[in-house]
Structures are given as structure tokens and as C-alpha cells.
Amino acid sequence: MYAMVIDQPGEAEVLQPREVETPQPGRHDVLVKTAACGVCYHDLLLRNGTMKRGVPFPLIVGHEPSGVVEAVGSEVGSVAPGDRVAATQWTGNCGLCRLCRSSREPLCLQRKWYGHEVNGAYAEYFVIQEESVVKVPPEVSLEEASMFSCAIGTAWHAVRDRGRVQPGETVLVTGAGGGLGVHTIQIAKLCGGRVIAVTGGPEKAKRLEELGADEVIVSREDFSDEVKRRTNGLGVDVVIDNVGGPLFEPTWRSIGRGGRFVLVGELSSNLIQINTARIFLKGVDIISTTSTSRTGLEQVMEQVRLGNIRPIVTESFPLKEAARVHRMLEERKSFGRVLLTP
């Protein structure tokens, strides 16, 4: 099969087209013909060497795939060849531990990050365990379905499950123009929140308002004073932080007393410093979110089917142009999700 392979970390050009052996499904696996694969900033961090732990090379990245089942293992019973499926960002979980039994499969000690610890879906075919795929309803396109787990599902988990956004609360969304951000806005509004979106691109402001953002702040530096001004000096109730270290200080200063700070993304390897007194004097909860459970994937799929969440795909490119797409993301030229289509 045709795939984009990384032999060692480096610039975008290390993504090289290559003919590799088509993977074969094990007893509990499915082989899927890739329809689309979303490009996440996580892919860039793997490719450029920022993320090192558990990364084998050569590697096929890509953890946001959808497609059509081509073949199944002998023990697979929930899907069959011809079924349209979306996949989670993980594979190989045990299904038996306390984490798996409480819909926290991404934290299972046996799970492998897809397109990170094992080969992913910048390829014509991908293999993943049966537990990690869900059938896609006919009303939803496979291009949209490729975003269900990461770009939408992670935002769903961050806003609803971890951030517990309630009607009337004010929610600050950083990295609002990216693949996570554009869906975070929609989900926060679905939960009844008032959304303040932060983006570094002035050309994205109007589009963010069209997606439901109540207010948009255009800034790549310290926006905390502006957030305080727009919240009568109180700060926000919930932060959904899709950026991490580069904007941590202004984001932290934007949160109000008793707020919830949900860490979703980290775009660099920079360390941050924080005086722990600042945490308990404000009474702030610092929370993380990790990927999407199978249950979360199913919930997101239903919300998209009902029209409550609109997947934002701005462009699609052939798989061979993966390096070009990575450069677009590095230069912050994309809005929403960009897809690769074999």
C-alpha cells in the first residue's frame, strides 16, 4: 500500500511517500480502507521530535481516520466488510481494568496511542482493534467522521465531562481557530456557555463569531486584561486551553475565582512555572483531558447526526501532500480541520 513514512524526526520534508506492506488484522482487529485522515498538531510534534516518549521510527502518523472496513479478524463480530467506520485515537486497551470499565479507555495501561506508539493512518489502509471503531450513520460523510474522535471528541470530553460547563457560565477558548477550537466553541454553546474565543489570526474572527463565539479577542500575547474587561473584572468560569505553555500566563490570569482550567493541548515543549498558592487562593481546579472514549465517540456521532455540532473541514489534500499540510499548520494558515485523502 501507499503510505507517508517518517524515518527520523525533522522538518516537514521527512514525510516521505513509500510503498509498504499492507497490514493484516489480528483476531480482534479490523483492516480499514482509509477514506480520510485529519491532520492534528500532535502529528507535527511527533514529526519534528518535540514528542519523543514511546515513538518508534520508522513511523506512519495519523490518529484521526475514517474509512470502509476491508477485512476483519476471526473474533470480530460488531462490524463487517463494507461497513463505514470512524476510529478512536487509541488501540489495544484491555477492556477489563477499572479504567476501561468506566469509559476511560485512553488511560488503560495496555492501550497504544494510534499513529504515535503504533503505525497510524497516513496510508491507504490502517489496522485497529474492533473496540476502537464505531459505525458511521448514512447521514454523515466519512470526511466528517474522521474528526469525531480527536477534533470533536476531545473537545466534547473537555467541555462537557471535564469542564462541566453549565448554562450561563463564561468559557474562554484558546487556539479557537484550530481544529479543536472551532468545535470547542460549538460544544460550549451547546452546553449553554457564553464563549470568549482567542485567536492569533484577525482573518478568523468573523468565522468564529459565525460558529457561535459571543466575543472574539485577536491576540498572540497577553489578552488577560481584555478578558477581565469583558467579564467586569471577574474572569471566566471555565478555560478550555488548546495551546498550553506558549499562552499559559495570560490564560491563567484570565480565570476567575472557583474556575475550572481544562488542559487540552500543548503546542511546545516549554516548561511553565506557577506558584501553587495562586491555585488554592483562587480556588481553581486544574484538570486535564485525554482523548476520547468509545462512549464519547458514539455521543459525538449522534450530536453530529442530529445537526447539533457541525464538523469544520476547510480543505482536503491528497495524501502525498502531507508535508505541505504540515507547513500550513506550522504557519497557522489553516482554519478548522485539514484532511488528507488517499
pLDDT value at position 272?
Answer: 80
How far from 138 is each of 117, 142, 145, CA to CA, in Å?
32, 9, 11
pLDDT value at position 201?
Answer: 83
CA 342 to chain centre: 21
342: which 3 cell numbers?
A: 488517499
Same CATH topology for 2-147+311-341 and 155-288?
yes
158: which 3 cell numbers?
A: 473537555
Q: What is the pLDDT of residues 83-116, one digit of tens each?
A: 999 999 999 999 999 999 999 999 999 999 999 9
Please tell me the least confidently modeled range out of 205-209, 307-311, 332-336: 332-336
**CB-neighbour burial class of residue 229 (10 A; exposed 0-12, middle 13-18, buried 19+):** exposed
- Examine the pLDDT at 266 and tell me if it is beyond 80: no
Q: Where are the domains of the chain?
A: 2-147+311-341, 155-288
- Any idea which fold 2-147+311-341 has? Quinone Oxidoreductase; Chain A, domain 1 (3.90.180)
pLDDT value at position 97?
Answer: 96
Q: What is the pLDDT of residues 193-245, one digit of tens each?
A: 999 999 988 889 999 999 999 999 999 889 999 999 999 999 999 999 998 88
* SS3 at position 78: coil
The larger pLDDT score, comparing residue 52 to residue 25, is at 25
- Examine the pLDDT at 314 and tell me if it is beyond 90: no
**CB-neighbour burial class of residue 109 (10 A; exposed 0-12, middle 13-18, buried 19+):** exposed
Say if CB 147 and CB 178 are below 8 A apart: no
What percent of the chain is predicted at pLDDT more than 90?
Answer: 85
Q: What is the pLDDT of residues 33-75, one digit of tens each?
A: 999 999 999 999 999 999 888 899 999 999 999 999 999 999 9
The span from the CA of 109 to the CA of 92, in Å, is: 10
Mean pLDDT, the chain, integer: 94
pLDDT value at position 283?
Answer: 94
Element (H, E) at 69: strand 65-72
Closest to 59 (Cα-Cα) out of 67, 51, 69, 68: 51
What DSSP designation does 25 have?
-
Say if CB 133 and CB 30 are below 8 A apart: yes
Element (H, E) at 128: strand 125-129
CATH assignment of 155-288, given 3.40.50.300, 1.10.20.140, 3.40.47.10, 3.90.180.10?
A: 3.90.180.10
What percent of the chain is predicted at pLDDT more than 70?
Answer: 99
Confidence of residue 259 (pLDDT cuts 50, 70, 90): very high
> Which residues neighbour 273 within 8 Å (Cβ) at sequence distance 6 or greater?
none
pLDDT value at position 270?
Answer: 73
Nearest-10 Cα torsion for 87, 204, 198, 232: -130
> Which residues neighbour 4 within 8 Å (Cβ) at sequence distance 6 or greater?
15, 16, 17, 18, 60, 61, 122, 123, 319, 320, 322
- The average pLDDT across 157-170 equals 96
Sign of CA dihedral 137, 140, 145, 151: negative
pLDDT value at position 19?
Answer: 97
Say if CB 162 and CB 188 are below 8 A apart: no
